[in-house]
Structure 1
């Protein structure tokens, strides 16, 4: 028998990026959710994937849309990640979005943005896996926000921590 908490902790040893996926509902309402399940699938055709829990309040908004936008968050966007991780209304309040593919909201200041057509959906256990065909993308030189062992981190911090560890081991050995 596999311990569910232990399994989740083991998966947390794999650092992931943090992304927000946005769309417009069939009623035209902007919708968004924070995920860390974003991944590339194919370069030709340009396909990416992300997944959402079947029990998520946001599931129907994404199952019934023709498009979505995936935003890879920059290292200073923890507050935006937290805002879109909540189930509450008002996620877009005070954020100056532009319209992307089929009017899906595009958030400002991200490390990368992928505008996608909702190409396919698959059952993935307790999640639905969304495959998006990328029709447009933008990148910046901004450092990406990472999630590791249950908390936010930054690549530069991780590299600095590694350098400090090597330095301290070198000094201890000398």
Structure 2
């Protein structure tokens, strides 16, 4: 039997372990007071086909999530391999306008999508589950579109990568 070290209380060690799992990155965005607001998330997961559900995780102290969490519709844009700069911008704290210079479009329901992504999902929040310093946000899909010629952005070991 293999002996594993106990879970460290050092946040950096946990982050390093979590970063060993590669993931895609999504922009989570909506109109707030008529302007786009959004953040990036690498915790996006497909959940169910019937009903169509996905999830993301949001930090409970995120000022951006506090603005997005009550929106009737959210737009999830699966970022493409050439959008690492957009991902960084959407992850930057304290920016007055995270969408400055980012091409976007909005639906009638207020979901905001990043142009040039590889997929877009229009969703509504169905459940928010407390989970430590985050909450798991369960989202029901209402519309989807893809751009299969675009390859996804991959986040691994705290850096952005392209598929080989």
Same fold by TM-score greater than 0.5: yes
Query: CA contact under 8 A between 2:39 and 2:64: conserved in structure 1?
Result: yes
**Do structure 1's residue 66 and structure 2's residue 75 form an aligned pair?**
no
Any idea what the Cα deviations from partners look like across 1:29-76, whole Å, max 9, x if unmatched? 321001101001100000000011111111211221121011111000
Cα contact 1:68–1:101 (8 A) shared by 2: no
> What is the match of residue 116 of structure 1?
123
Q: Unaligned regions of 5+ residues in structure 1, if any? A: 157-174
Paired position in structure 2 for 1:148: 156
Normalising by structure 2, report the TM-score: 0.88
| Greater displacement, 84-93 / 41-50 | 84-93
**Displacement of 1:139:** 0.9
Larger radius of gyration: 1
Residue 101 of structure 1 and its aligned partner are, at CA, apart by 5.3
CA distance in 2, matches of 1:14, 1:95: 28
Match of 1:76 in 2: 82
How large is the RMSD of aligned CA atoms in angstroms? 1.4
- Structure with the bigger percentage of helix: 1
Higher strand share: 2
Which structure 2 segments of 5+ residues have no match? 1-6
Structure 1 segments, 4+ long, off by >3 Å, are none
